[in-house]
Chains A and B, each alone.
Chain A
Amino acid sequence: MNPLLRAGDWLILLASISVVATLMLHYWWQTTPGERLLIHQNGAVFLNAPLTQNRIIDVPGPLGITRIELKNRQARVLSDPGPRQLCVRQGWITHAGDVAICLPNRISLEITGTTRPYDSLDY
């Protein structure tokens, strides 16, 4: 007797479970609203501002200026002199614990909430 589920069935089964898991993580895991934007430059706090502000922040680093936008309680990196543009492509970050790191320019953004959830940066 043929198996009830074929290779493609298993593939779709597993892919769909991972979609559900990703959605759960995204929407349910860490929905603590962000309160402040914390920018570090070379390990030192460059800015700690409430998310309610709407502004553009230029942060100087060893490679040049990293431009950060703060708007509608979200933050993103508008431009960065780094080669791979990882932090720019990450897009908006908004929940407490979200981080974007522009490693080449030694700049990191972090959204903090009223209580700071644990993540790898705390170790």
Chain B
Amino acid sequence: MTAWTIDVTEQDANLAWMAALAVSLMWAESALPSPIPGIKPGLANIVTLLVLRRHGLMPAVWVSGLRIVAGSLLLGSFLTPGFVLSCAGASASLLMLTMLYRIPKRWLGMTGLSIAAAFSHTAAQLTVVSFWLMPQTPVWALSPLFFALAWLAGLVNGILAERWWREEHLADA
């Protein structure tokens, strides 16, 4: 039998833990009742934001991707429309974060990043729904509701991420 090993760096292990934490949050909030499918607080994105600030862009992409695949396998939504929506939302958010995360911390904190990412997330999902899932339905007429909720979720998640990051940072110092 051929012995084969994968060299797991400390960062890999760390990111796997982060992805696991994100999956737990995703799973926990899937248990919450939701009036309209797809409306949820997106707490797992706090993890993405923290990883982005601590480790950079590629690790954040990894954690986000692992969370979506592992989370959808756990929830049984792998390759369903919901999974495609998750992918679209995450890609758009990460694209937005790619553009914004180089702005120095003293100008832009987690809250701004979080709201901007939540908006591009919602915009991408509405686009997918209107072009692919429900092309006959005027989903954009509901967009004010979706964006208002994205604003709220983005704000809350951003403030939580900002506070956690600062607590951690103070402990390091």
Contacts and interface: CB of A to CB of B under 8 A. Distances in A.
Given A13-B115, A23-B147, A6 B106 contact: yes
Contacts of A28: 144
A5 interface: yes
Given A12-B115, A16-B119, A5 B109 contact: yes
Contacts of A5: 109, 111-112
B143 interface: yes
B73 interface: no
A4 B151 contact: no
A27 B144 CA distance: 8
Nearest to B158: A9
Interface string A1-20: 01011111111110011011
A31 B141 CA distance: 10
Contacts of B143: 23, 27
B132 interface: no
Contacts of A49: none
B116 A27 contact: no
Chain B residues touching A, range: 20 to 34
A8 B147 contact: no
A9 B111 contact: yes
A4 B140 contact: no
Interface string B97-114: 000000101111101100
Interface string A22-60: 011001100100000000000000000000000000000
Interface in A84-120: none
Nearest to A27: B141
Nearest to B123: A19
A87 B163 CA distance: 49
A17 B148 CA distance: 8
Given A12-B115, A27-B140, A27-B143, A6 B109 contact: yes
Nearest to A1: B166
Contact of A12 (B106, B116, B162, B166): B116
B18 interface: no
Nearest to B151: A16
A20 B115 contact: no
Contact of B108 (A2, A8, A16): A8
Interface of A: 2, 4-13, 16-17, 19-20, 23-24, 27-28, 31
Q: Which 8 pairs show the lowest CB-CB distances between chains A and B?
A: A8-B108, A9-B112, A12-B112, A23-B144, A24-B144, A9-B111, A8-B107, A8-B112
Given A13-B112, A23-B144, 7 more contacts: A4-B109, A5-B111, A6-B107, A6-B108, A7-B107, A12-B108, A24-B144
11 contacts: A4-B159, A7-B108, A9-B112, A9-B115, A11-B112, A12-B108, A12-B111, A13-B111, A13-B155, A23-B143, A27-B140
